[in-house]
Amino acid sequence: MEEKLIQRLESAVARLESLSLSGGAASAAASGDDVPLDPSILAYEDLIRQYLGRVLAAAEKIGGLVLDVTKVLQQAFAVQKDLLIQVKQTKLNFS
């Protein structure tokens, strides 16, 4: 039970951090079409939550350079998500 609670908390923290690191671009995209509800975007978010959340939690325990590099990796995933959303919006606009 405790492990599931920790995993959910890590997932929520990872999601909030990815939103804050992306500068709100994901929220701006959410105000348009239903792109963030696209299955591929949701799957990507789940991937980030599930795996990057674990890595981030471990990096926070280790600290130092490991944490710094993990935060850069987290930013890269957030940027990639924003790009995926933009591609989906572009496809919707041309349809």
Query: What is the model's pLDDT at position 31?
Result: 45
Q: Give the residue extent of every domain in the chain.
A: 2-94
The pTM of the whole model exceeds 0.75: no
Query: What is the model's pLDDT at position 28?
Result: 43
| pLDDT tens-digit series, residues 7-48 | 776 776 666 666 655 554 444 444 445 566 788 888 899 989
Which among 75, 44, 58, 63 is positioned nearest to 7, based on CA atoms? 58
Q: Are 74 and 21 a contacting pair, CB within 8 Å?
A: yes
Residue range 56-80: mean pLDDT, rounded: 94
